[in-house]
Each structure stands twice: as C-alpha cells, then as structure tokens.
C-alpha cells in the first residue's frame, strides 16, 4: 500500500531557520514559543543527523542569531543575506538541490516577510515546504495568521514541531525515538 507522498523522509529533508535574530526577537509575538520550538527542531534534526541551515538578515542592523539557538547550532555557519527571501542567500537553493534535498522544514521570523517569501520561492523551485507553525511568528498576530493562510493556500504544508519530528522518525522503539521523545517533552 502507498503512503502519502508528502510524508517527510529523512534522506530528503533539511531544516531551514530564518532570521531568528536578537534585535528583532524581543518584539515578536510569542517569541519564547518560537525559540522553544526552534530549539526542539534543531535538537531533533541533530539527533537524526539531518542537515540544518540558518540565515541572518542584515546582521549589522539586526544583530546575530539568538544566543540560545547559537549554542545548539555549533558547527553550522550563518548564511548572511540582504534579500528578504532566502532565494537571495547565496547558493542555498542550489546546495539543497545538489544534496538531493527536496523537502524543507521552515522555522523563523518574520512569518509574513522573510519566511513567507522564502516559502513561496522554495515552492516555485519545486521543493516541498513543511512550515512549523509553532516555530514561526511576526510582530502582529494578523500578519502571522494571514501569512499562514496565504502559504497554506499556495500548497505549503502547515504543521507543528512535534508532528515534523515524529513524521521523520517513522517508528518508535529506537534509541533515536527515545532521544526525540525527551526533546519534545
């Protein structure tokens, strides 16, 4: 029997964290939720040995990525960008494609600007996007809600952190399952 074609598969999936930077984070709606769930995604992807990318929008003005995230992102290098979409973040899309990654899990801020534009560009370039709705936000709730609706109507998969991690695991009873279960608690 067939499985749903959009189920995340470890061999095809990368995590992309967009612009969770110190100077803007404090004004983001439910910023602690965004940080907490992004940390869960990072830890889960690390436990499964899956690729993680993260960007910084104009770091000279917005500062570096949140120190809470940087502690877990050790060994990864920020991709700096001036464009809102990560499409303009160097050769990121080409690197994803070159590694055979076709499914991208997205977390970050702001949902209605950099996240949304990146999601649209990923979709336009034939990537499947799974947006962690509990790991994205904006300054205003109307911008967040409207962006989620717009991305959903344009075929992004809107889901949650825990759903993403368990989808990638596929089965229970393994050491990795136990590690991820501890992460999501």
What does the pLDDT read at residue 39? 97
Residue 2 lies in a domain: no
Q: Give CA–CA dist 78/168, Å, rounded.
A: 24
What does the pLDDT read at residue 71? 93
Domain with 40 in it: what CATH number?
Answer: 3.40.50.850
Residue 6 lies in a domain: no
Residue 3 lies in a domain: no
Give per-residue pLDDT as tens, 38-66. Answer: 999 999 999 999 999 999 998 888 889 99
Domain count, the chain: 1
Residue bearing tokens 């799974």? 130
What does the pLDDT read at residue 171? 86
Residue 132 lies in a domain: yes
Residue bearing tokens 């509990």? 134
Q: What is the pTM of this model?
A: 0.96
Tokens (6 digits) for 28: 């983001």
What does the pLDDT read at residue 63? 86
Give per-residue pLDDT as tens, 61-92. Answer: 888 999 999 999 988 889 999 999 999 888 99
Residue 4 lies in a domain: no
What residues in the chain have per-residue pLDDT under 50? none
Residue 66 lies in a domain: yes
Domain residues for the domain of 44 are 12-180
Three-state SS string across the chain, please? CCCCCCCCCHHHEEEEEECCEHHHHCCCCCHHHHHHHHHHHHHHHHHCCCCEEEEEECHHHHCCECHHHHHHCCCCCCEEECCCCHHHCCCHHHHHHHCCCCEEEEEEECHHHHHHHHHHHHHHCCCEEEEEEEEEECCCHHHHHHHHHHHHHCCCEEECHHHHHHHHHCCCCCHHHHHHHHHHC
117 and 88 Cβ atoms separated by less than 8 Å: no
Residue 70 lies in a domain: yes
What does the pLDDT read at residue 44? 96
Residue 22 lies in a domain: yes
């Amino acid at each position: 029997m067939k499985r749903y074609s959009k189920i995340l598969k470890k061999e095809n999936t990368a995590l992309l964290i967009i612009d969770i930077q110190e100077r803007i984070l404090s004004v983001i709606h439910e910023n602690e939720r965004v940080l907490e769930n992004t940390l869960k995604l990072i830890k889960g992807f690390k436990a499964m040995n899956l690729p993680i990318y993260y960007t910084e929008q104009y770091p000279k003005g917005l500062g570096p990525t949140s120190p809470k995230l940087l502690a877990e992102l050790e060994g990864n290098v920020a991709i700096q960008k001036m464009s809102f979409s990560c499409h303009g973040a160097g050769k990121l899309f080409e690197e994803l494609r070159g590694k055979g990654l076709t499914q991208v899990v997205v977390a970050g801020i702001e949902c209605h600007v950099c996240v949304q534009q990146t999601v649209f560009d990923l979709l336009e370039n034939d990537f499947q996007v799974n947006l962690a709705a509990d790991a994205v936000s904006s300054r205003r709730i109307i911008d967040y809600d409207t962006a989620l609706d717009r991305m959903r109507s344009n075929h992004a998969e809107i889901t949650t952190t825990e759903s993403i991690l368990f989808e990638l695991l596929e089965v229970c009873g393994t050491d990795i399952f136990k590690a991820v279960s501890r992460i999501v608690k």
